[in-house]
C-alpha cells in the first residue's frame, strides 16, 4: 500500500504523514529531506544549487542512505549523517532550487520508487502523487494560506533557536511556491484523483482523522 501527500511548505504534510504512518503501522518517507540533504551537501562543497553542470557532477557517485532512529527519519550523504543540518532556514530555498535539476529528481525518484516497491509506505513531498507514484492507492494534496504556513514555520524555527522574522519567512515561502509550481520538470501540482485538504483552520488531529477516514473506509 502506497499513500502520497503532496503540498507546499508549511501545509503540515510531514507532521500528518508521520502520525498516519504510526497509526497505520507503515513506513514513512520524507522525500523533501532527501532534496534538502543534497542541497546541504552541495553548499558544504561550495557548489551553488543553480549551477546545474557542477551539481550533476557532484551527485554522479553520491550515495544516500535512509533509516529510522528513535522514530525519526535519518539521511546520510556519502557516509555523513546530515539530518541535524537540513532544517536550517537557508536550506529550504536551496533545496527548491536544486530540485529543479532533472538529474537530481531522477536520481532521488529512483530511490523513492525502490523503497515504495518493497514496503507499505506513506511519503510526502511535492511530486509524490503526480510523478513518483502516480498509481498510488491513496493520494492527498494539503495546502493552507501563506500567512498560516509562514506562522507555522516561524514557530518551528523558533523552537530550534532560529529567530527569523515572519515577513521574511512568508516571502521565502511564496517564492518557493512559485519556483516549485513553475519548474519545467515534475512541478508541484494537485495530483490526478487526489483529495485536496485545506488545513488553514484545521488541527493536526482533524487532518489525520480525515485522511485515515478515506484510507480505512
CB 142 within 8 A of CB 149: no
Who wins on pLDDT, 106 or 72? 106
CA nearest to 93, candidates 4, 174, 6, 207: 174
In the three-class reduction of DSSP (H, G, I as helix; E, B as strand; rest coil), residue 88 is classed as coil
141 Rama class: left (phi>0) / alpha (psi -120 to 50) / beta: beta
Binned at pLDDT 50, 70 and 90, residue 217 comes out as: confident
What's the pLDDT at 216? 87
Q: Flag whether the pTM goes above 0.85.
A: yes
pLDDT tens-place string over residues 42-84:
999 999 999 999 999 999 999 999 998 888 899 999 999 999 9
- Alpha-carbon span 85 to 176, nearest angstrom: 19
Residue 152 has pLDDT above 90, yes or no: yes
What's the pLDDT at 68? 87
Q: Are strands 121-125 and 138-143 parallel, antiparallel or unpaired?
A: unpaired
The share of the chain scoring above pLDDT 90, in percent, equals 91
Amino acid at each position: 500500500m502506497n499513500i502520497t501527500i503532496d503540498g507546499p511548505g508549511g501545509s503540515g504534510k510531514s507532521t500528518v504523514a508521520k502520525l498516519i504512518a504510526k497509526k497505520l503501522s507503515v513506513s514513512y518517507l520524507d522525500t523533501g529531506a532527501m532534496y534538502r540533504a543534497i542541497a546541504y551537501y552541495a553548499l558544504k562543497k561550495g557548489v551553488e544549487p543553480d549551477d546545474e553542470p557542477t551539481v550533476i557532477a557532484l551527485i554522479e557517485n553520491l550515495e544516500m542512505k535512509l533509516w529510522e532512529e528513535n522514530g525519526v527519519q535519518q539521511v546520510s550523504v556519502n557516509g555523513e549523517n546530515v539530518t541535524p543540518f537540513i532544517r536550517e532556514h537557508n536550506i529550504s530555498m536551496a533545496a527548491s532550487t536544486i530540485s529543479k535539476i532533472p538529474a537530481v529528481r531522477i536520481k532521488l525518484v529512483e530511490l523513492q520508487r525502490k523503497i515504495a516497491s518493497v514496503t507499505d509506505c506513506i511519503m510526502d513531498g511535492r511530486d509524490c502523487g503526480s510523478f513518483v507514484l502516480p498509481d498510488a492507492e491513496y493520494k492527498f494534496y494539503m495546502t493552507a494560506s501563506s500567512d498560516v504556513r509562514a506562522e507555522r514555520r516561524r514557530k518551528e524555527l523558533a523552537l530550534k533557536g532560529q529567530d527569523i522574522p515572519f515577513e521574511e519567512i512568508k516571502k521565502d515561502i511564496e517564492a518557493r511556491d512559485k519556483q516549485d509550481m513553475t519548474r519545467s520538470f515534475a512541478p508541484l501540482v494537485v495530483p490526478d484523483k487526489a483529495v485536496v485538504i485545506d488545513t488553514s483552520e484545521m488541527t493536526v488531529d482533524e487532518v489525520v482523522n480525515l485522511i485515515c477516514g478515506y484510507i480505512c473506509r
